[in-house]
Amino acid sequence: MTAPNKRLLYILAAVPLLLLIPLVAMQFTAEVRWDAFDFLVMGILLLFTGLASELALRKLKERKHQQVAVGIILLLFLLVWGELATGFFRANLKGNAATETTLLLPALAKQ
């Protein structure tokens, strides 16, 4: 089996293994509460991230370009994951008064 095909198998195996982490955590703590939709969304997000990284590694020939592309893909993954987990960007874009006050508190404390 060639190296790119092995990587693809690793990606396909890693997605369900990573999804086992919250599944096991749900058995031990009430702080982790995922439903089927959460697992579906995270599975799609992980799969897309892995496949996009694999595509970048296959199509881009220069090592530096591969590293930059995979770095951007991982950064986008983290941004989407953070937004889905906390809603931080959505709350700040709405102009929520409570959020604006919270963000201004450190600046006001310095005055």
**Model-level pTM greater than 0.85?**
no
Looking at residue 46, what is its pLDDT? 97
Q: Decide: 60 and 66 in contact? Cβ < 8 Å.
A: yes
Q: Which residues, given as ranges, of the chain have pLDDT below 50?
A: 105, 108
Calculate the average pLDDT of the chain. 85
Contacts for 82 with CB less than 8 Å, ≥ 6 apart: 88, 89
Radius of gyration of the chain (CA): 19
Looking at residue 106, what is its pLDDT? 54
Give the largest Cα separation in the chain, rounded: 64
Neighbours of 51 (CB within 10 A): 15
